[in-house]
Amino acid sequence: MTAVAAAAGRTRGAVRGALADARRGWSPYATAGGALAVLAGLAPFLLGGAIADDTLATGAYEALAATGLALCVGLAGVPSLAQGAFVGTGAFAAAHLLRHTQAPAEVAALVGALAATALGVVIGFAVRSLDAVRVAVATWLLSWLVALALGALPWLSGGAQGLVVPTRRLLGFAPTPLVHYELGVVLTGLCALALVALRRGPFGLDLAAATQRRPAAAALGVPMERLRVIAFAASAFVGGLAGGLLVQLNIVADPTAYGPLLSFELLVAVLVGGAAVAFGPSAGVIVLGLIALAARGLGALAPLSGSRFEPMLEALLLLAVLTTGGSALVPATLDVLRRFGLSPKKPRRRVAHAAPPRRAAAALRARGLTKRFGAVTAADHVSFELAPGTVTALVGPNGSGKTTVLRLLAGAQAPDCGSVKLGARDLTLQPPSERVGAGVVRTLQARGTFDELTVLENVLVGVDRTRRRAGALRTVTSTPLYRAENDVARGRAVAALEAVGLEQKAEAQASSLSTSEQRLLELAAALATNPAVLLLDEPSAGAGDADLQRLARVISTLRDRGLAILLVEHNLRLVNETADTVVLLANGRVTATGSPEEIAASVAAREAYFGRDEPGGA
């Protein structure tokens, strides 16, 4: 009984915590969204039969499929044209299950969703590393392949007649169009809430970072390819679920209804309505419904079918949005509200400082690192050690191979030979994400902030590498463990900002920071990964005298905390103020190692920077 009472107490505490979080996060926009959802549910009664229930139900399931597509387009930035194929896969999988078994309607829809998910994983894996243009082409081809397969395989599609689907009770109700419509509205609302939760959580932040600056996200260990596959799978699941229910509404599985045109229409709905906002895809579906009415009106004026005008008008609408740089419908409406001062203020939450757990001190050892690019040897048997609690500066003239060596240490490039070890752990073949997890993280020579995120969100991308309960499912359901870890993560992000002196600008947009502050923000994001080794690539770029002193203090503080720091730097003043050891690189080779004073006075340094000494020269 004691254990039961304790579990009940934890459950009550978790529920109270969830309600408190919901109250803090509630806004006028949330109220407006709830009101719109209620109006959507009452639409069949408010319209008084002006639009048939089956038409409304079809629109609801299309809104569900479009909202699922937004998981790819809005979160992952992937212009998928495969959603129609996922809807068709779900529809025919559910149709065959219903025809050949006594499976309940809900189970058939779920099986259709799982079949579409399997296809989504395959296509997601295939396009995981492609750019946006190639993803669009590949997914468009998939839509055609599914359509051609349905046309070429009568045993699968039922031929020109399609497959007649037996009707079964749905959630205990007779499967009327009204029941289908209300179910579609509820599922679309839940999917929209999931979209919001994912966008605000670690999953969405990581994808936003990778979409904005992929190299910077990779340097922080963001597993972009894996996240893309998950986004495709989630999008396919929702599309397949919509298809599995839609086919039961229509009673006939028509192979011509799930072709590339459906994929195009769903993408248009997402882009026109707004891919990254909760009800943007649904608004886009409504716009397409209005276009269908307009097409029928034009068809009545001309000796043509309205169905021929509809795709033309949809294409013109999408072309207008893309070529004029106009905002999507829902984001544009929100911008207007903000200009009139109706934008809700984000509730400020007090965040407790939370330091990350200390990693065991370990040295990073490079042994014989070699990297060739054709006839050029950028790194030639480079060996040195980064000890905990020390700053090692890697210096040399332009083209000496400094950045190449740093990239080899970080895993951004694989060496032709040689090894990289952190303590006893061999990292030589490990990708950047694994090295970040092990405690080796770098900053980039080029600017690496995510401008569309806030300062705090930039650092949270780094903190996400230390989280263990931040999966997509936990994020959507906001489990007690997820929320507890979320508070700790925010505390760690604030602690990282305090370490570089940016805690007062946590809610500012990253794009509003000065160049030197953006460099410090990159350092804070790297620090938030809880590293043992920091690899800094020219952190003083664009820094003035005051900024340089500030950066030197930060680096010295991090060294005193026990971090091993590699400083690739041209500014010798920063090197002299912070470095314990200097490694001199020339033509890809280590030519000298010593203190800053010893290297400054060495013949090797004069030869590297000014050419070989002449006899009798100074």
pLDDT band at 615 (very low <50, low <70, confident <90, very high): very low
> Is 88 exposed, middle or buried, given 0-12, 13-18 or 19+ CB atoms closer than 10 A?
buried
Q: Which residues contact 155 (CB under 8 A, 6 or more apart)?
A: none
Is the pLDDT assigned to residue 7 strictly greater than 60? no
Beta strand 589-594 with 581-586: parallel, antiparallel or unpaired? antiparallel
Q: What global pTM score does this model have? A: 0.84
Q: Which residues contact 97 (CB under 8 A, 6 or more apart)?
A: 103, 107, 108, 111, 112
> Is 468 exposed, middle or buried, given 0-12, 13-18 or 19+ CB atoms closer than 10 A?
exposed
339-365 b/e (C-beta count within 10 Å ≥ 16 → b): eeeeeeeeeeeebeeeebeebeebebb
pLDDT for 618 equals 29
Question: What is the amino acid identity at position 121?
Answer: V
pLDDT for 617 equals 35
Q: What is the pLDDT of residues 195-252, one digit of tens each?
A: 888 888 888 899 989 888 888 998 898 988 999 999 999 999 999 999 999 999 999 8
Is the pLDDT assigned to residue 296 strictly greater than 90? no
Q: Rounded CA gap, 429 and 423, in Å? A: 15
Contact by Cβ (8 Å): 371, 413:
yes
Q: Rounded CA gap, 104 and 108, in Å? A: 6
pLDDT band at 392 (very low <50, low <70, confident <90, very high): very high
Q: Rounded CA gap, 537 and 151, in Å? A: 56
Q: Kindly state the average pLDDT of the residues 525-538.
A: 91
Is the pLDDT assigned to residue 118 strictly greater than 70? yes
Q: What is the pLDDT of residues 170-180, one digit of tens each?
A: 999 999 999 99
pLDDT band at 353 (very low <50, low <70, confident <90, very high): low
Is the pLDDT assigned to residue 298 strictly greater than 80? no
Q: What is the pLDDT of residues 468-504, one digit of tens each?
A: 877 777 888 777 888 888 888 899 999 999 989 898 9
Which of these, 352, 342, 290, lies nearest to 484 by C-alpha position? Answer: 352
Q: Rounded CA gap, 66 and 208, in Å? A: 20
Question: Where is average pLDDT lowest: 128-132, 268-272, 445-449?
Answer: 445-449
Contact by Cβ (8 Å): 559, 577:
no
Is the pLDDT assigned to residue 577 strictly greater than 70? yes
Is the pLDDT assigned to residue 373 strictly greater than 50? yes
Task: Give Cα 378 distance to the centre of its chain.
Answer: 33
Higher-pLDDT residue of 12 and 190 is 190
Range list of β-strands (E), 72-222: 163-164
Q: What is the pLDDT of residues 25-67, one digit of tens each?
A: 556 666 777 788 888 888 888 887 788 889 999 999 999 999 9
pLDDT for 123 equals 93
CATH 3.40.50.300 in the chain, residues? Answer: 363-438+572-589+600-618
pLDDT for 120 equals 94
Higher-pLDDT residue of 602 and 82 is 82
pLDDT for 321 equals 65
Q: Kindly state the average pLDDT of the residues 154-183.
A: 90
Query: If you search the block for the tokens 């790194």, which residue do you land on?
Result: 379
pLDDT for 442 equals 92
pLDDT for 243 equals 95
Contact by Cβ (8 Å): 367, 385:
no
- Which superfamily does CATH assign the domain made up of 363-438+572-589+600-618 to? P-loop containing nucleotide triphosphate hydrolases (3.40.50.300)
Q: Give me the percent of the chain exceeding a pLDDT of 70.
A: 85
Higher-pLDDT residue of 494 and 316 is 494
> Is 459 exposed, middle or buried, given 0-12, 13-18 or 19+ CB atoms closer than 10 A?
buried
Q: Which residues contact 64 (CB under 8 A, 6 or more apart)?
A: 184, 187, 188, 191, 238, 241, 242
**One-character DSSP codes across 21-88:** HHHHH--HHHHHHHHHHHHHHHHHHHTTTSS-HHHHHHHHHHHHHHHHHHIIIIIS------HHHHHH
Q: Rounded CA gap, 197 and 479, in Å? A: 12
Is the pLDDT assigned to residue 149 strictly greater than 70? yes
The tokens describing 499, both together, are 């370490």
> Is 441 exposed, middle or buried, given 0-12, 13-18 or 19+ CB atoms closer than 10 A?
buried
Q: Kindly state the average pLDDT of the residues 376-404.
A: 90
Q: Kindly state the average pLDDT of the residues 530-535.
A: 92
pLDDT for 445 equals 81
